[in-house]
Amino acid sequence: MDIIHVENLSKKYEHFNLDNLNLTIPTGSVVGLVGANGAGKTTLIKLLLGMIKKDAGNIDIIPKEEIGIVLDDAFLPELLKINDINIIMKNIYKNWDEKKFQEYLKKFNLINNVTIKSLSKGMKKKLEIATSLSHHPRLLILDEPTSGLDPIVRGEVLDLFREFMESDDHSILISSHITSDLENIADSIVLMNNGKIILNESMIKIMDNYGIIHCTKEIFEELKDNALNYRQNKYDYEVLIANKKELKKKYKELNIDKANIDEMMYLLVRGEKE
């Protein structure tokens, strides 16, 4: 069963189009959404949440009551105290769990009687995460949820997301520029560029099949039919391939490096195609 199903989704702006986008997210999966600034990630998330109107296409998603949200550009009224958030959310979500909320506040060292205005960016982000998890959602939609957090707290937050995913009917869509976080938690990666999805692949296939070869021009000429994209550097060629096992069998002396998400993004977006 799919928790999100998007078909032929389009949204047109003066200088940007989200163009005929199709995406399916199965229940029980963590999907990492990546791409450069302006690629369309936040537009897609706002369309999924009904924050902006689509121009065409279909969106099938669970009710908002069952969705926990952390948005990069969201804000909580700064004159409120943290405890005010608890009072407000009790009147919005029928499944609001005050006890769970207080447990998250304690875990994140957040104090009820302080104003949101007095919190650092990182503490505000922790408050947003605590709020998103405290009404027993089935789906988390997260836009840069670990931005502004130090490595220790980022690790704690990722552990919370892993704990959330222990239930088979839970899912996460997480957009992040911290791709190492996605490599630790995501089941699949969706790469957007200029309003289109240019890669939608499981992490298992990425780890097993994708790789980067640094080679001379002569070797590149021999391998170029296998290149997804490449970049010509000053002294060598950097080649992204998706058939690592096959090439290792054929060229036993060939050194194929692991392709991390950052490198894949750069080569797929900025590289050349033979």
> What is the residue whose two structure tokens read 């447990």?
103
User: Which pLDDT tens digit goes with each residue over 218-245?
Assistant: 999 999 999 999 999 988 999 999 999 9
Mean pLDDT of 264-271: 94
Model pTM score: 0.93
Q: How far is the C-alpha of 159 from the C-alpha of 82, rounded, in Å?
A: 23
In this structure, are residues 156 and 132 in contact, taking their beta carbons and an 8 Å threshold? no
Q: Comparing 70-74, 114-118, 177-181, 196-200, which segment has the lowest mean pLDDT?
A: 70-74
pLDDT tens-digit readout, 164-204: 999 999 999 999 999 999 999 999 999 999 999 999 999 99
**Helix H or strand E segment including 43:** helix 41-48
Percent of the chain with pLDDT over 70: 99
Higher pLDDT, 76 or 180: 180
- The CB-side HSE value for 200 (13 A sphere, CA atoms) comes to 7
Q: For residue 191, give the nearest of 252, 268, 114 by alpha carbon.
A: 268
pLDDT mean across residues, the chain: 93
